[in-house]
Amino acid sequence: MNTKEYLVQSIVSQMTIYLMNDYNWDMQTALRTIYHSELFQKLDDPEIELYTQSPKYVYLFLKKELTTGKYI
């Protein structure tokens, strides 16, 4: 696993916990939501380097996507 993959998975792990706490979702629902989000595509993009940001910061984009349908 390279550094980028590690950072992405660390952020996904933390965002899963945030979703489970904020929405009372189970782990499968939280992970499915993350991996099928527009945000995840951006999180994994090496040109944007969103994976270098804190999990909480990235989670704010996910919450916005969940409420508005768009991550930005």
Query: pLDDT tens for residues 8-24?
Result: 999 999 999 999 999 99
Query: pLDDT tens for residues 32-56?
Result: 999 999 999 999 898 999 999 999 9
Nearest residue to 62 via CA among 9, 16, 6? 16
Q: Is the pLDDT assigned to residue 72 strictly greater than 80?
A: no
Residue 19: what pLDDT?
A: 98
Question: Token pair for residue 29?
Answer: 């629902």
State the pTM of this model.
Answer: 0.92
Residue 38: what pLDDT?
A: 94
Q: How many CA atoms lie within 13 A of 3 on its CB side?
A: 3
Contact indicator for 34, 40 with CB cutoff of 8 Å: yes
